[in-house]
Chains A and B, each alone.
Chain A
Amino acid sequence: DTGVSQDPRHKITKRGQNVTFRCDPISEHNRLYWYRQTLGQGPEFLTYFQNEAQLEKSRLLSDRFSAERPKGSFSTLEIQRTEQGDSAMYLCASSPRATNTEAFFGQGTRLTVV
């Protein structure tokens, strides 16, 4: 078990392009979270999955953002028509069944929109 894996680690894109990030949680973790961290700030919650069901979405997740977790395994976060304000670190975390107090974070994907 190598922990939560995120790909890519870094992404530079031009404004207006679409980007997709992938998160592979720790195997058998049924809970998966996405957070966004901008420079000088703490991470902010974006969305939560339990298995394949997306159970909560933050208001930060505009219509340009979509997240999926097909089959309850890996998850993808897509940003359409990127804007400079989307530049941030996108963090994924997972936690096992029957606990809401132990989240394991991936190393994040740093997005730069130019």
Chain B
Amino acid sequence: AQSVTQLDSQVPVFEEAPVELRCNYSSSVSVYLFWYVQYPNQGLQLLLKYLSGSTLVKGINGFEAEFNKSQTSFHLRKPSVHISDTAEYFCAVIPGGTSYGKLTFGQGTILTVHP
């Protein structure tokens, strides 16, 4: 079984500041890793994903994440945030080699960007 831990439930930052949202996972097999964003009363939108290859993954809206296998982490970063980045962010995994994409999510991190 897999599990995902998001280390911060809330992260407040000022506009144009950098931000890092932390994610650790546990799995006995290799995994695919994802970050999703959820705006209020909306569904989830995929920000980026790591399947294989380069450990630094770039996504939409200027976000990037780095896969660290030894630390079983997949932290999300953005060098300069905007007010519009205020949302809840979810880290998720799928076991590698499975035939369908059953996601296991973390608890979420609420990012609040202040002017």
Residues of A within 8 A of B (CB): 4, 6, 31, 33, 35, 40-45, 48, 50, 55-56, 91, 93, 95, 99-108, 110
Instruction: Collect the chain A residues with CB atoms within 8 Å of residue B42's CB.
Output: 107-108
Q: Which of B9, B45, B94, B108 contacts A100 (CB 8 A)?
A: B94
Q: Which of A43, A100, A106, A110 contacts B99 (CB 8 A)?
A: A100
**How far in angstroms is the closest Cβ of chain B from A70?**
20
Asked whether, in the complex, the Cβ of B101 is within 8 Å of the Cβ of A45, the reply is no
Interface residues of B in 1-55 (CB under 8 A from A): 4, 9, 32, 34, 36, 41-46, 49, 51
Interface size for B (C-beta < 8 A) is 27
Nearest chain B residue, comparing its CB with the CB of A103: B101
Asked whether, in the complex, the Cβ of A43 is within 8 Å of the Cβ of B90, the reply is yes
Q: Which of A55, A101, A105 contacts B51 (CB 8 A)?
A: A101
Query: How many angstroms between the C-alpha atoms of A110 and B44 in the bound complex?
Result: 14
Nearest chain A residue, comparing its CB with the CB of B101: A100
Instruction: Collect the chain B residues with CB atoms within 8 Å of residue A95's CB.
Output: 100-101
**How far in angstroms is the closest Cβ of chain A from B101?**
4
Taking A41-B108, A43-B44, A105-B43 as contacts, is the C-beta distance between A33 and B51 under 8 angstroms? no
Asked whether, in the complex, the Cβ of B108 is within 8 Å of the Cβ of A40, the reply is yes
